[in-house]
Amino acid sequence: MRGTKLGAFVGGLAVLLGTVTGIARADEVVRTDGKVVRGRIVSETPDALVLEVQSAGLAMRQRVPRALVKSISREAREGPGYCVVPIRGELGMAVTPEALRDAIDLAKQAGATFVVLAFDSDGGDEAAAEDLAKLVRDHDAPGFRVVALVKRATGSAAIVAVACRDIYLLGDARLAADVPAGKTAPSLLRSIRISARETGHHPDWVRGVLETEAEPTPPAAARTTKDGRRAPVVARLAAGGASSGTTATATATAASLDALRDGLGLTAWYEADERPRHVMAYAAGAEERARAKVREAEARREAARRAAIGEAELGMAGPTSPAAMGGGGDAVAAAEKRLADAQVAHEQAMRDIEQRCAASLRDEKRNGATIERTRKVEQYWASVKQREEQAYKERCYQLTTSVAEAKRQQFNSASAR
């Protein structure tokens, strides 16, 4: 699934994000009917307020007439803004360049000064890691800093981590190539070295990442590099910032973010937008959902195969090879191939529908769609999926019957010989 666009704004993220406490904040509008609207106030007029609210991972704008407003509580925003982007799971699968690009774009739209990449990954696809690292380097600039908060970044995940100019290690963090004993990984080591060199990290520290089993000691911080740019910083945070959680954003707990804030020399900061979390959290969950769909498809295919041959083989005795059955095996093989092809076509159709649904939702979001409009779009695509499922069931029944008939004919032909 590498390279597939994952539809960053599709729902189902509340469970993944609900475990992080002390981070999510918002403006709050209490209506005269007692209902509470939480979100970010993006515009105000004498007649109404407009809030950007989160609903199932989608960011939508909701208008509240002034006449219906009882009270307003505004989030206190002190210091620069930050956004958290979890880098958790397999690179190229759970973490993709497309999702990271979307997350960074959202952070910029929200006016964030810092993007915190919260690492808890053992790597994955090296090509995807190199693309992710290039995104990090391309976007890190004065006024917009990409910071690595590392719980674990091993294997190809280290390529991405060392692309950050600011690397902060949690108390028990591990940042290393982690090449298994007795094996070599020249392309991985070369990619880590190149990524670190292009970012400007100290060569001795990089050598430690590549060669040692223990986490190398962060070098003494320098103020600038020879070309006048801000020098990279590698520092270890206090042990109190470490986290042993296993949720999608466990690395970026309130405690670890407070420790990172102090490490950056800030007295205060605020989360500018939660949507970058949503993008990566959905990407991480999408891979597991895709694998579950594959398992379900394989189970359905096996059930169909058993149903197709069950009756034909009932009571069958003697040789059952195509040659022994007078060549009837060719017809059976052709029927089974049509059934398998139908399964493949159905899976592709469902993937296409998912991608088109995600594209439609992104377009609606850019156009400032209302919650009601977004729900209608989701309902439409749900009906498209339902029609495809029904058509496939009917087609599968027809093909299963064809396979069973071919088996019967094969058996009758063999019995007559």
User: What's the pLDDT at 318?
Assistant: 41
Residue 176: helix, strand or coil by DSSP?
A: strand
49 and 125 assigned to the same domain: no
**How many whole angstroms separate alpha carbon 262 and alpha carbon 111?**
21
370 and 330 assigned to the same domain: yes
97 and 246 assigned to the same domain: yes
User: What's the pLDDT at 296?
Assistant: 77
Residue 128 lies in a domain: yes
User: What's the pLDDT at 142?
Assistant: 85
User: What's the pLDDT at 7?
Assistant: 38
Record the tokens describing residue 213, joined without a space: 């089993």
- Contact predicate 230/224, CB 8 Å: yes
110 and 233 assigned to the same domain: yes
- Contact predicate 115/107, CB 8 Å: yes
User: What's the pLDDT at 240?
Assistant: 47
Buried b / exposed e over 155-164, threshold 16 CB at 10 Å, is bbbbbbbbbb
User: What's the pLDDT at 30?
Assistant: 92
Q: Which helix (H) or strand (E) holds 50?
A: strand 48-55
**How many whole angstroms separate alpha carbon 365 and alpha carbon 136?**
25
Residue 12 lies in a domain: no
- Residue 43 sits at φ, ψ, to 5 deg, of -160, 155
- Contact predicate 72/138, CB 8 Å: no
Helices and strands in the chain: count of H runs, count of E runs: 10, 11
Residue 301 lies in a domain: no
Strands (E), 361-414: none
User: What's the pLDDT at 157?
Assistant: 93
Residue 263 lies in a domain: yes
Average pLDDT per 10 consecutive residues for the chain, totaling 417 residues: 38 32 62 89 83 70 90 82 91 88 90 93 91 93 92 92 92 82 77 89 81 56 55 74 40 78 89 82 69 72 64 44 49 79 84 82 72 75 83 81 77 68
50 and 125 assigned to the same domain: no
Range of the domain at 338: 319-416
145 and 231 assigned to the same domain: yes
User: What's the pLDDT at 16?
Assistant: 32
36 and 152 assigned to the same domain: no
| Count of the separate structural domains present in the chain | 3
User: What's the pLDDT at 307?
Assistant: 63
96 and 66 assigned to the same domain: no
118 and 58 assigned to the same domain: no
- CA trace torsion 97, 244, 12, 30 (10° rounding): -110
User: What's the pLDDT at 181?
Assistant: 65
